[in-house]
Chain A
């Protein structure tokens, strides 16, 4: 924990005030976890960040979630407790090892935390990972607050070792990012289990795998018995008119909105505690299910032949708040007027000084088809940039462009755009595929030297590691240009993200050159490299043509009908000055070096900072 949190705990008799993510980290630490892995992703990111504060734990930002789970599985096989945490879509990437580690089982306990996102506050979908527990035949626990996050992670490690199986802990955004009061415990220091060669258990060739599958089914039968007697599942009997079956954050919303209803709280969602629910159902006149997104519990209950009401009333899309429950179940509306109508939205924009701004201005201007990817630059899909045609999942930019270009004329070809972290996560295979299969796609790598979108975690294109700081290493461990050349891309160029003429030259022509190309647009993330270069201002030569508005820069605003640069926001990146057709935007103060010089590659160049 941070010092501040420790201090705070003194002030209240050993209690702490922790987010769900911090409590997961604390629970894992108390359970004696030795190895923790993750790839950043909202809302799971802070779990590994918090674990990084515990010296007993070997933590790493892995390059993607499949890698993270495999590293954790390896540590488990070696005999220590290991934890892999990821956001909901990360489990798709890790699905391959997931299904087979259920067969192999564990040596040291193995816990997988999935952080789902009902309401998709910062995700590309709101998939419901309870189905992964069922599909992979892995037990799943669902805490309802930070205290349970801590406890359930500890229990998950015990179950994992007792039943020889990886265990899921499922969180959702409101659990991850809510703080509540926690009573912490002490660290338990498990003795490392011996590693004994057991190929029949860990080598999933078909003849072994089929035996392990039989074994998995036996383990599941025992786990089902556990689920039905699990001490954290609860019958809370109040009025017997209606009983509600619920889990996770929905439990808290039910308690808030429907305080008089009886509740069947499910802490172990998989294997489904059928007998436990049946007993509850027999005590109430009517049975409801309250759950976000998919009707997972409802299907299980219906499969038992128990009459139940659920999704007819509620929605599959988005979160299920206490307000919605009161509206839909009690038919009570809030005692306040509805929202003010007709307000302008406030879409997020690239930060002032962002290294992604120039390239997307250029791509928008050229009206290229842009096969996009996931990162801060996803904002390019929105106005005023309108410079991204597709965004599906990490790594899809390169491969989708390759498919698109198989059937497109040279002038209509798509270019791929991908950030450095995403490139390492799942772009490399796309490059190998592109070259091997004779593709013609130009790939633009936006190298800001960090995984910015999720809060600036380092990756192999960064100059530091978890727990360190920018500049710890003289250069990144991964040399993107060298890697691309090694995979057979002959045309590799590097440009300064802030030099608009150079960016223009680099992309012009490469789209239709008929061979694969990689253009690395390099400039540090302005939230990491906080150096400021002196603000710009708008001179009297401005003709209000609004060209600079297309840059979507928060520092460019209007004051009394005139275009104005907000000095306190301007970082001095100089992109607006380069696109202004009247050259009306100038340095506010001459003592700062002009952008042109920096772009020429002197020490001042922001690009130098990254590589």
Chain B
């Protein structure tokens, strides 16, 4: 365990999307599995609607909690513009897991700036990008807030360190009992989506 290289996971999204909870879950999973773990987040001034990032590093020994540029094995984008904003964090041989979802920032609403049209293509120039219909899946299931669980499911397919049962255990302890079943289903859908895509060799 001691010499295990460090895995870096960078989450980017918009305030209110639940990014902190998502990264807490991954960090806790790594902690329980016996790794050294550091987790850092920036929740600056009233982050409602602003950019939010969170990062998890785990492995044999972790020094700084902050991932170096171009060194994230995974960039999990909860929103497309925010994934673009942090694209340079991912390693060229890493993976981007992208929620197909746009939240217009104020300058775009006001017509002062344009929302980038081709996010997925641009991201693909940084690293292999898996576009996950997490928002659609969650709205189909009746609650857009479950998009995070879909994305965590997709991420889980690429993290052999943790079994599906490990995930279920941590999710069960961190989510409200009332929403747990639906979230576990959302997680499974995301996991399946990513494994299917991997089987087909689709952009992964």
Chain A residues within CB distance 8 Å of chain B:
4, 7-8, 11-12, 15, 17, 42, 121-122, 145, 173-174, 177-181, 249, 252-253, 255-257, 321-323, 326, 334-340, 343-351, 376, 378-379, 383-384, 452-453, 527, 546, 549, 552, 554, 556-558, 568
Contact = CB atoms under 8 A, between A and B. Distances in A.
B70 A336 contact: yes
B18 interface: no
A415 B70 CA distance: 48
Contacts of B137: none
B163 interface: no
B interface residue count range (under 10 / 10 to 19 / 20 to 34 / 35 or more): 35 or more
Contacts of B144: 568
Nearest to B32: A11
B63 A252 contact: yes
B49 A336 contact: no
A347 B105 contact: yes
Contacts of B125: 337
B44 interface: yes
5 contacts: A8-B28, A179-B37, A336-B92, A339-B87, A348-B45
A339 B81 CA distance: 12
Contacts of A179: 27, 37-40, 65
Given A340-B87, A346-B51, A554-B49, A181 B37 contact: yes
Contact of B68 (A249, A257, A345): A257
A346 B49 contact: yes
B45 A343 contact: no
A4 B173 contact: yes
Interface in B1-39: 14-15, 27-28, 31-32, 34, 36-39
Nearest to B33: A12
B126 A549 contact: no
B196 interface: no
A335 B44 contact: no
Contacts of B34: 12
Contact of B69 (A42, A122, A336, A344): A336
A249 B64 contact: yes
A326 to B, nearest CB: 7
Determine which residue in A180, A252, A337, A453 has the highest number of CB atoms from chain B within 10 A of its CB, and name it. Answer: A180
B48 A178 contact: no
A394 to B, nearest CB: 14
Contacts of B42: 121, 173, 177
A549 B68 contact: no
Given A12-B31, A347-B107, 6 more contacts: A145-B38, A177-B42, A180-B39, A336-B89, A346-B49, A557-B104
Contacts of A180: 36-39, 62, 65
Contacts of B202: none
**The 8 nearest A-B residue pairs measured at CB:** A336-B70, A334-B70, A348-B50, A344-B113, A178-B65, A346-B105, A334-B69, A122-B45
A347 to B, nearest CB: 6
Interface stretch (B114-122, B148-156, B176-184, B185-193): B114-122
A179 B64 CA distance: 11
